Structure 1
Amino acid sequence: MTDAHAQHDLHGKTVIITGGARGLGAAAAERAVAAGAHVLLTDVLEEEGRATAERLGERARFLVHDVTSEDGWQRAADYATETFGGIDGLVNNAGIATGQPLESVSVDFFRKVLDVNLTGVFIGMKTVIPAMRERGAGSIVNISSAAGLMGLALTGGYGASKWGVRGLTKIGAVELGTERIRVNSVHPGMTFTPMTEQAGIEPGAGKYPNTPMGRVGEAEEIAGAVVFLLSDAASYVTGAELAVDGGWTAGPTVRYVMGQ
């Protein structure tokens, strides 16, 4: 193992990853297992979740889990502790997206989005804190979004929930820092996943000129940031918001020709 890889070593650690059946969650699980972690993937997509865990091997398990349920969260925490001996990391990744103007989003759907994307994160944090305290340290990585760093049209409840995740992350960081429990948020830009593919998103260079890098991200690129924050390489990083968005939220793209 090289020094660079050793810095991201997760051997001896147990991580829960919600929304782990596919997309960003599955990519994060694969990276975490490769780094040596035991991983509990949870999701409401049972068939895909079990297939992902089976593909990742003996250090991965899957549990059907609704993140809006307090009982469901406690079952997940108990399962991780009983199976792997404790909880060292949590990746709050489960979420649902929106794509409508504010005025056309129903109140019921707005509430549903906040319940999954924000309340689910809150319950998860609340549930794992005692287990991490018992271990003497921990790392919580909350998946927010570029929509949690700027006002993004047509995101309605999604954008509001991701701003909420960003704020909740900072509250957790300042409350838990002295207990060596770190809390950080990752803010993906447009990323190619099964969910975004349904909205017409395509991978490849030059397809999205409004971003400085001119392309969408790949799930593995987001996963790399997640594993960094879970690892001891990020031991002095808490309350941070890490944009993994190809520069999208840095500012408007300016195209120019060198020498002019």
Structure 2
Amino acid sequence: MGRVQDKVALVTGGASGVGRETVKLLLEEGAFVAISDINVEAGQAFAAECGERALFVRHDVASEDDWRAAIAAVQQRFGPLDILINNAGILIPGSIATATLAQFRQLMQVNADSCFVGCQQGIEAMKERGGSIVNMASVSSWLPIEGYAGYSASKAAVGALTRASALYCRNNSLPVRVNSLHPDGIYTPMMQASAPGVPAKFLLFDAQKNPKGRAALPEQIAKVLLFLASDDSQAISGAEIRADSAILGTGL
């Protein structure tokens, strides 16, 4: 028996990066998984590769209608939803001096609004049977990063929303857990695009070879998401889980 055997999961941004690795791991551990993504070509190809226990859903995470359609499609194909991984997000650089209001609003819409709607509809879908929601945040939720003011604000909102959602579930006796995961960098296509031409060895954290590195591998983060999605973390809700290789202690 796998750690999420026969549970039904929805992973947003599931066609690439951390989402892709999380989908693969959930499937290996026995789940039925819906791959949510706005990239139809990549999502459909990945779902076909994954087999009958996977489903692709074209999904704009900032759209309430798309959320309703995605959850309905998952439940029609596999049954009631047990796990929601709010992983989809974007990264736009910009300090408080250089970022535009349009960029700030776009970051909030994709990174934070998506978690608001996802938590709202996810809790509604899980409130009878129970389940686990994990929201992807960032160390920038609490660690000042001058060049990513809007991104940091959006991820801080995800952390606050997570805590409020988890408390709502507790106070209303709903068997739904809501947690946020706060990685430092993750070596995904999004990170590679923000550091063009920089070899992985200079970005990845390695205690011996590169202790100043900032990035984890997507599969390392996927393992933490699996733990938070599974019943192994039944005692955890409303938590900010840091997957940051102790970056807070360095003062960076």
Find the aligned partners of 1:214 and 1:57 in 2 and give their Cα distance.
Answer: 40
Amino acid in the other structure paired with 2:162: T
Tell me what 2:244 maps to: 245
Amino acid in the other structure paired with 1:237: I
Aligned residues of 1:98 and 1:156 also touching (Cα < 8 A): no
Amino acid in the other structure paired with 1:223: A
**Over the residues paired in the alignment, what is the CA RMSD in angstroms?**
2.1
Aligned residues of 1:91 and 1:140 also touching (Cα < 8 A): yes
Aligned partner (choices 159, 177, 185) of residue 182 of structure 1: 177
| Deviation string, structure 1 residues 2-54 (Cα, Å, up to 9, x no partner) | xxxx5xx1012111110111001111111111111111111111111112222
Find the aligned partners of 2:85 and 2:203 in 1 and give their Cα distance.
Answer: 31
Structure 1 residue 245: Cα displacement: 1.6
2:46 is aligned with 1:49: no
Aligned residues of 1:188 and 1:244 also touching (Cα < 8 A): yes
Tell me what 2:8 maps to: 14
Structure 1 residue 155: Cα displacement: 1.0
Return 5+ residue gaps in structure 2 as ranges: none
Find the aligned partners of 1:94 and 1:226 in 2 and give their Cα distance.
Answer: 14
- Indicate the SS of the match to 1:109: helix
Return 5+ residue gaps in structure 1 as ranges: 254-260
Aligned partner (choices 124, 135, 139) of residue 132 of structure 2: 139
Amino acid in the other structure paired with 1:203: A
Aligned partner (choices 60, 65, 89) of residue 59 of structure 2: 65
Tell me what 2:94 maps to: 100
Aligned partner (choices 199, 203, 208) of residue 200 of structure 2: 203
| Deviation string, structure 1 residues 166-185 (Cα, Å, up to 9, x no partner) | 01000011111331200000
Find the aligned partners of 1:226 and 1:27 in 2 and give their Cα distance.
Answer: 10
Find the aligned partners of 2:207 and 2:146 in 1 and give their Cα distance.
Answer: 15
Equivalent runs, 1:87-126 vs 2, <5 Å: 87-126=81-120
Amino acid in the other structure paired with 2:87: N
Find the aligned partners of 1:206 and 1:118 in 2 and give their Cα distance.
Answer: 26
Structure 1 residue 210: Cα displacement: 11
What TM-score do the two structures reach when normalised by structure 2? 0.92
Q: Which moved more, 1:123-132 or 1:221-230?
A: 123-132
Tell me what 1:222 maps to: 221
2:38 is aligned with 1:39: no
Find the aligned partners of 2:251 and 2:126 in 1 and give their Cα distance.
Answer: 41
Aligned residues of 1:203 and 1:217 also touching (Cα < 8 A): no
What TM-score do the two structures reach when normalised by structure 1? 0.89
- Indicate the SS of the match to 1:198: helix
Find the aligned partners of 1:79 and 1:138 in 2 and give their Cα distance.
Answer: 18
